[in-house]
């Protein structure tokens, strides 16, 4: 593995924002491709952090610090990515954590990666009413609504979103993405969601497949 990719991985796992941003600068100064660094470096590091957290080897504060570094990296890379490719800049996504849930680490990471890939994302924040989510999507012409939940008690809000879209005759015009720790492909299929995001990087891949399909 090239040293620059390993530096990116290490900067997320440590986590060290200064090191991460220095790695980005070094790569861009050498005319490196922004998405290659993101995909083979920072996303690999982020996935490793997730694996360590899932195994109980690191704790939530460390995950949050890694997420902050990832967001800083994404913000820095967005301009460069916009210069290199604007293929998805016209695709708008409305994103929110569902009503009753105030967790947003996973959502923030997903948004960071979507923006890094050129998508225009409007982040409504945490504990957002279903009607407000739909209103925002309609107002801004969003192609996709992405919702996240960490609690089993608020998963029903994702089902309510699907039902409300159908009532408003917007289902099919607006696609939906569901994500969160208790969310599964079975749940996504059961409620009629278009995209299931097992993690941030797979969510981006799912969005691209849905848009290009």
The pLDDT tens digits for 125-148 are: 999 999 999 999 999 999 999 999
Q: Is 119 in a helix, a strand, or coil?
A: coil
Please list the ranges in the chain whose pLDDT falls under 50: none
pLDDT at 109: 78
- Percent of the residues in the chain that have a pLDDT greater than 90, as a whole number: 60
Provide the whole-model pTM.
0.77
As a whole number of Å, the end-to-end CA separation of the chain is 32
Domain residue ranges in the chain: 3-84, 92-212
Q: In this structure, what token pair is assigned to residue 109?
A: 């990471």
Is the bond preceding residue 15 a cis peptide, omega within 30 degrees? yes
Amino acid 85: pLDDT: 52
Tokens 């409620």 — which residue? 191
Q: What pairs with residue 145 in β-bridges?
A: 94, 176
CATH of 3-84, one of 1.10.1240.10, 3.40.50.620, 3.40.1390.20, 3.40.50.970: 1.10.1240.10
Superfamily in which the 92-212 domain is placed by CATH: Cobalamin-binding domain (3.40.50.280)
Pinpoint the alpha helices (H) of the chain: 3-13, 17-29, 34-37, 43-54, 60-84, 105-116, 130-140, 156-167, 185-191, 200-212
Residue 117 has a pLDDT of 77
Integer Cα distance of 147 and 132 in angstroms: 12
pLDDT at site 137: 98
- Inter-helix orientation angle 3-13/17-29, to 10°: 160
């Amino acid at each position: 593995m090239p040293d620059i990719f390993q530096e990116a991985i290490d900067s997320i796992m440590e986590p060290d924002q200064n090191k991460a941003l220095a790695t980005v600068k070094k790569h861009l100064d050498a005319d490196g491709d922004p998405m290659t660094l993101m995909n083979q470096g920072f996303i690999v590091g982020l996935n490793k952090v997730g694996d360590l957290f899932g195994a109980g080897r690191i704790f939530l504060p460390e995950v949050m610090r890694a997420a902050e570094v990832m967001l800083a990296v994404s913000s820095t890379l967005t301009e460069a990515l916009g210069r290199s490719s604007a293929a998805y800049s016209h695709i708008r996504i409305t994103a929110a954590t569902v009503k009753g849930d105030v967790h947003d680490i996973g959502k923030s990471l997903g948004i960071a990666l979507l923006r890094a890939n050129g998508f225009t994302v409007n982040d409504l924040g945490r504990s957002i009413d279903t009607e407000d989510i739909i209103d925002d999507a309609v107002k801004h012409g969003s192609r996709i609504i992405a919702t996240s939940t960490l609690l089993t008690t608020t998963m029903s809000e994702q089902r309510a979103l699907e039902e409300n879209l159908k009532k408003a005759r917007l289902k099919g015009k607006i696609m939906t993405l569901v994500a969160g720790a208790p969310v599964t492909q079975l749940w996504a299929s059961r409620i009629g969601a278009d995209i299931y995001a097992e993690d941030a990087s797979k969510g981006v891949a799912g969005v691209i497949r849905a848009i290009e399909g």
